[in-house]
A and B are shown apart, each in its own frame.
Chain A
Amino acid sequence: MAVFESDFLKKLEYLALVARRVFRGRIKAERRSRAFGSSVEFADYREYTPGDDYRYLDWNVYARMDELLLKLFEEEQDLHVYLLLDASQSMLSTPGKYECALKVAASLAYIAMSNLDRVAVHPFADRPLPEFPLTRGKGKILTLLEYLERLQPASGDTNLEQCARVLIQRRPRRGLIVVISDLYDPHGFARGLDVLRYHGDDVQVVHLTDASEANPRFLGDVELLDSETQATRTVTVTERHLQAYRKAYQEFLARAERECRQREVGYLHSTTDVPFDELVLKVLRRSGVVQ
């Protein structure tokens, strides 16, 4: 069954419209950068040097003062949005979680594209997976959706730090990095966040989990199989163990939020039973993922 059905596309359009109205004046693609460019906004003069474009010479100044001065304009740059999508096997361990992550990623990408921003998708597991390059324009959304549908989770555990380093090296410039993951990173997701924040990017974390992960219901003798590493543990699960698990899991969620807040990283935790459009609009706006 396809992840993105026709209803999904309609919801994307609806999301884009609603997002434009909600974030009007704040999320325009035209974002002034410090670089000079070819917009209509005058910035400064500088002396002419051979090779400059004659069209930007200020002929009036030359007529009055006999000096060749070149007019400089502020360059308007679009926002680069990098979606770091967790495509490890843990995202597949519970039904619906990976699909939810794909939809969130597609929704954010569409909203960004609708606002003339550039979007790139960088899936990762224990290593970077083939990414969707920076793309601009709403017309590319179908290509993006096709890419996401074809994207298969990779084997191996989750290693956010390594993927963050690769992203930093490859990205043309800083931007907004949205990490969509369950954060089950045996190497520590905080180190990955440190790398991203160190290089000056705005980082947002969308922490996706499933309700069954917080509250497992199996008892007795079981062989626990790690969905990422395929490691096993033969244990006897009792109610007391389940209580300890629930406590440990809640501590993990609290730690994730605390780590993000300490690094000034936007954090949002959501479970897969929340509809993705509600997640994208209501919950993401509240958490400030889209600015």
Chain B
Amino acid sequence: MTLLNPLALAWAAIAIPIVALFVLRIRRRRQLVPTLMFWDEIFQDTRPRSLWRRLRHWLSLLLQLAFAALLVFALAEPIGLSAARKPVHYVLILDQSASMQATDGEPTRFDQARNMAHRTIRAMRDLDQATVIGAGIQPVVACGRTHHQPTLHTALDTLAAIDAPADLVAALDLARAIDTAEQDKRIQVFSDRGGAAELGDVLDASTSLRICGKDTGNLAITGFAIRPRADNPVELQGMIKLANYTAEETEAEVRLKLDDTLHDVIVVKLAAGEERLHGFQMMNRGSSILTAELAGADALPLDNHACAVLPRTLHKNVVLVSEGNLFLESVIASHPWMSLQTVSPARAEKAIAAADIVVYDGHVPDTLPAKPSMYLCPSGESKLWSIGADLTQPLVSDVVKDSSLLRHVSFQNVTFNLARAVKTKTPAQAVMSSFENPLLLRWAAASPPVVLLAVDINQSDLPWRTAFPILMQNALNDLAGQDVEQPSSYRTGQLAETQVDASQVQATDSRSQQVSASVDEQRATIGPVVWAGVTRVRAGQAEIPLAFNLANAEESNLRVADSAGSAMPANMNAGSTPGRFVLPWWVLLTIAAVGLSTVEWCLHQRRVVD
């Protein structure tokens, strides 16, 4: 124990007037009465008094002196020996993850965490300092090291829980990176679970995890997506993942809305702790946003809502330049968003002028059209490629599996009967190759894009294969600029990518806040987005919606015990504030002094007497 302000001990001189006043006061006040007759009658039986009565005056004096001593001691600002050695630097990490929005705190878990942090700051001594770090998807220093408590409180108030998971490990790494050589550093993590399992390995003696919230049941949408069927793009396949994090069987009612118009209601009965994937189908009628809403209220409203962006329907005019190929015509005509016009090479020029996509069946024009085009078994060369000798029975040896052209199809180790030997003049992506000979090429950098299939479809069984119409649809979608790989929804905290026809884009999230966005090779990278809802990307005149949902089972599971699990760190502390006391010593001493004063008053004023 040491004193920060020892000069305040001079106030101990106040004991002198206290004793003097007590000596004066011990002479009892005189009360004039008309006669003592009645008083003698009352007191005649109570003359001998107890020992307590004789000692009471002295006890009163002792209490007063104790009262004065406590106040003087409080003014001297005593601190514990351990605290006196070094100033303490508190690093306060507030978990901003989505689960901190749960309303089982004060009123939310994040509010509870913030209040705990406020209390920690209020308990700081003059020489102590603190740093406030917000643990979102990336850790952010909300307030640098300072001892100025109002600044720290203000920084705490600027933090809020987000709709995304938090990276507490990164926040801890950042906290540890703060150099406090001259101070005793104490890291406090305020979290509802904070991924206690993942933190279990990184917590040490200087780090304490302070738990907010309590075990609370929750019904959540932990996944939501929709996509067009591969064989029929008009039809959509949807998936919704529901999780019941309550202790009893629950019936979940999900309302599906297309652009805010009720489309369907799904009712799923979920056992306690069950997670279930539920599929559904629907027709694509040109709507843009599909939302799913869980009926009823629970502790975390955020995961009761999810949204997805429906695939865009790009209507294109396709001109097939061919001498006649029934298979090819049928395949292109089966695409729901494509209008097909078949023309002979001799009369192709006029039709090509009005086309969006041109498909050449064996024919190669003298000049490649300024439209997205596809060449099937080209008979001649162009500025992009040259033709060599035919390839007999080429074996597909290499494929780019993640290419959008090979979506849902696989040609690995397939042998075709005949193909052209194509040599590229400009860089192109060989999506499918037979050793050194490319069979499927894509010039993505070219403007407009070009796709070349070297396989002779007339001399091979490719058109008979199921893969052919899918391959053609993939190619047409690619040329139409329809990004079929575009996910219908993202998780909050993720980066999103989308195809754009502009060099610069602007993104605005569901709270009308600007989101970081960049463009590279007609691919825009958006985010990370921290707020759930629809983020809109403006690229030139076009606006592309991107859906972001929490879709995180760990965040939706509000049961603290479950999340903490067996990996609960030994220094996890659910209740106390740093150090050994909640309030400064001087406050405790003052409270004790007031208590003693009250007792003394009762004794002296004899409100409490036998």
Contact = CB atoms under 8 A, between A and B. Distances in A.
B38 A225 contact: no
B260 interface: no
A225 B32 contact: yes
B35 A225 contact: no
A236 to B, nearest CB: 6
A152 interface: no
Contacts of B269: none
A225 B34 contact: no
A94, A236, A238, most chain B CB atoms within 10 A = A236
A227 B35 CA distance: 6
A184 B40 CA distance: 13
B83 to A, nearest CB: 44
B30 A222 contact: yes
A59 interface: no
Interface string A34-62: 00000000000000000000000000000
Contacts of A245: 38-39, 42
B28 A234 contact: yes
Interface stretch (A10-18, A136-144, A213-221): A213-221
Contacts of A252: 37-38
Contact of A223 (B28, B40, B605): B28
Contacts of A234: 28
Given A236-B609, A248-B42, A184 B29 contact: no
Contact of A225 (B30, B40, B42): B30
B53 interface: yes
A182 B34 CA distance: 9
B41 interface: yes
Nearest to B35: A184
B29, B39, B40, most chain A CB atoms within 10 A = B39
B402 interface: no
A93 B38 contact: no
Interface residues of A, number: 35
A25 interface: no
Contact of B30 (A182, A213, A223, A241): A223
A227 B33 contact: yes
B20 interface: no
Contacts of A236: 53, 606, 609
Interface string A219-262: 11111111111011111111001001100110010000000000
Contacts of A186: 35, 37
A231 B606 contact: no
B606 A220 contact: yes
Given A221-B606, A238-B606, A248-B41, A94 B30 contact: no
B27 to A, nearest CB: 8
Interface in B13-52: 28-43
A94 B34 contact: yes
A235 B39 contact: yes
A213 B31 CA distance: 12
Interface in B199-226: none
B34 A216 contact: no
Interface string B571-610: 0000000000000000000000000000000001111011
A219 B609 CA distance: 11
A224 B38 CA distance: 11
Nearest to A186: B37
B28 A93 contact: no
Contacts of A213: 34
B606 A244 contact: no
B36 A224 contact: yes
A28 to B, nearest CB: 39
A249 B34 CA distance: 12
Given A220-B605, A233-B43, A90 B34 contact: yes
Given A233-B43, A238-B610, A222 B31 contact: yes
Contacts of B38: 245, 248-249, 252
A247 to B, nearest CB: 9
A182 to B, nearest CB: 7
B609 A225 contact: no
B26 to A, nearest CB: 9
Contacts of A235: 39, 43
A186 B35 CA distance: 9
Contacts of A90: 34-35
A220 B57 CA distance: 12
Contacts of B33: 93, 216, 224-227
Contacts of A249: 38
A178 B610 CA distance: 45
Nearest to B38: A248
B39 A224 contact: yes
Interface in A174-228: 182, 184, 186, 210, 213, 216, 218-228
Interface string B419-455: 0000000000000000000000000000000000000
A230 to B, nearest CB: 10
A156 to B, nearest CB: 13
A220 B88 CA distance: 51
Nearest to B609: A238
Nearest to B29: A222
Nearest to A91: B34
B14 to A, nearest CB: 24
Contact of A231 (B36, B53, B604, B605): B36
Interface string B311-343: 000000000000000000000000000000000
A87 to B, nearest CB: 14
A225 B606 contact: no
B31, B37, B41, B604, most chain A CB atoms within 10 A = B31
A237 B46 CA distance: 11
Given A221-B28, A223-B30, A228 B605 contact: no
A221 B30 CA distance: 9
B64 to A, nearest CB: 16
9 contacts: A93-B34, A216-B33, A218-B31, A220-B605, A224-B31, A227-B33, A233-B39, A245-B42, A248-B41
Interface of A: 90, 93-94, 182, 184, 186, 210, 213, 216, 218-229, 231-238, 241, 244-245, 248-249, 252
Interface of B: 28-43, 53, 604-607, 609-610
Lowest 6 CB-CB distances: which A-B pairs, in order? A93-B34, A184-B35, A90-B34, A220-B606, A222-B31, A226-B36
Given A219-B606, A222-B29, 20 more contacts: A90-B34, A93-B32, A93-B34, A184-B34, A219-B607, A220-B605, A220-B606, A222-B28, A222-B30, A223-B30, A224-B36, A225-B32, A226-B33, A226-B35, A226-B36, A227-B33, A227-B34, A241-B43, A245-B39, A248-B41
